[in-house]
Structure 1
Amino acid sequence: MPSSGPTKFADLLARCERSAVHLEMRDVYAVDQEKGPFAEWRNGFRHDPADRTSWWRPWLDLVAEAVGRGVVIRRARIVSEPVSEYIRFEHSGTFTNIAAGEQVRWLPRRRASDIALPGNDFWLLDDRLVRWNHFAGDGSSQGPEHTTDPSTVKLCGEAFETVWDRGVPHDQYEIR
């Protein structure tokens, strides 16, 4: 049964035991915590691979902690090509996610046409809980929703695995 619940993602990830997979399907996001970094990137800022203290916190700490406990974290992004400016921003900083322990793959949207995909981005935690990420047309967050409905969990799991299997590992994906 769906719920909007007050559970913070950090709490959900802290309880995760085996796997956390994330499917992103938008070409533009306008979430509050990225507005400053995106503007800085547009003005020429790039993360220094040698300066880990300047990277996105606390997210990377959450990832590193979960991976350290044995949780496998995978992120797949379905993107239109040529990619949007926002996707260029995401791609340029993804090495920080990988350094924290995430695995990331990219799938050109034209290669996803025959995949049964859910209508929203999601996290699937331990193959039991789906956390939907709802967005408005402008990319702003409209809040999360959670479900443990078995058919929804199955849809999300199968969709993610298909995207993952077709996806290109981050270090091999070339921005077009």
Structure 2
Amino acid sequence: MPDLIPFDEITHLFTDFEHTAWRLETRRGYASDRQSPKWGRWKNGEDIACEPSDSWRIGVSKQVAQGKRYERVRLVDNPPTEGQRFLLASGLGNVAAGEDIRNMWRADAVRLGLPDHDFWLFDSRTVVRFVIDADNVTLGVHVLEDPPSVVHACQVRDLAWHHAVPTREFQAQVPSEL
């Protein structure tokens, strides 16, 4: 496995990719979400999907306007954890910015043999695999470009994408506490 590097060292990939940035999210929550100002607003019952665009959404919109695709599959427990409910609530704003976010029940992902780690796949060439600790803090990433790692990530993407459900449709399956 290559060296662990800080996530900040790969952020250029979010603008440098040519065609597709695809992510698998497997965690039950993320420390970065809990630490964001948006978390508190969501906890107070505010609609965080319709907030003004943030830097992520602006970046997605710019890339999509250039014909690039942002796609993501999120694994969700049944019932969803607090962190997953937050992502479902905020995800519609990302969808409005142009990101295609789909969701899948964790039990289905386990049945299909999907991995239990998060990663980004850029242009079916570069895999950025997250290292996340037990408190859901991102410690860094491994950048993988070797053919076996890339092919495996592409296979995971294809399998997950085939079985995942678009965010709006998925939300209709989730209990009303959203």
Establish whether TM, by shorter chain, passes 0.5. yes
Contact map agreement 1:118 1:155 (CA 8 A) in 2: no
More moved, 32-41 vs 161-170: 32-41
User: How many angstroms apart in 2 are the aligned matches of 1:33 and 1:62?
Assistant: 22
Please give the secondary structure, in 1, of the residue aligned with 2:40: helix
Residue 49 of structure 2 contacts residue 91 of structure 2 at CA under 8 Å; is this kept in 1? Answer: no
Matches within 5 A, 1:87-126: 87-126=84-123
Q: Identify if the C-alpha distance between structure 1 residues 119 and 108 changes in structure 2 by more than 3 Å, giving closer, same or farther.
A: closer
Deviation at 1:48?
Answer: 6.2
1:52-76 CA-to-partner distances (Å, cap 9, x unmatched) read xx23x21111111111121111100
Partner residue, 1:61: 58
1:140 Cα shift? Answer: 1.0
The amino acid across from 1:19 in the alignment is T
CA contact (8 A) 1:130 1:147 kept: yes
Alignment equivalent of 1:133, drawn from 130, 134, 146? 130
In structure 2, runs of 5+ residues without a counterpart are: none
Q: Which residue does the alignment assign to 1:161?
A: 158
- Partner residue in 1 for 2:2: 2
Q: Match of 2:11, SS? A: helix
What TM-score do the two structures reach when normalised by structure 1? 0.88
**1:115 CA displacement:** 2.7
Moved segments of 4+, more than 6 Å: none
Q: Is the 8 A contact 1:27 1:87 kept in 2?
A: yes
**Consecutive unaligned residues in structure 1, runs of 5 or more:** none
Q: C-alpha distance in 1, partners of 2:49/2:118? A: 29
Deviation of residue 32 (structure 1)?
Answer: 6.6
**Cα gap change, 1:155 to 1:132, in 2 (>3 Å):** same
User: Residue type of the partner of 1:30?
Assistant: A
Q: 1:142, 1:19 → 2: CA distance?
A: 25
Distance 2:44 2:38 in 1: 10
SS of 2:27 mapped into structure 1 = coil
Q: Distance in 1 between matches of 2:35 and 2:55?
A: 13
Q: 1:28: which partner in 2?
A: 29
**Is the CA contact 1:16–1:126 (under 8 Å) kept in the aligned structure 2?**
yes
Q: CA deviation at 1:4?
A: 3.6
Moved more, 143-152 or 27-36: 27-36
Conserved in 2, the CA contact under 8 Å of 1:22 and 1:124? Answer: yes
C-alpha root-mean-square deviation of aligned residues, in Å? 2.0
Aligned-residue offset at 1:93: 1.1
Percent identical across equivalent pairs? 30
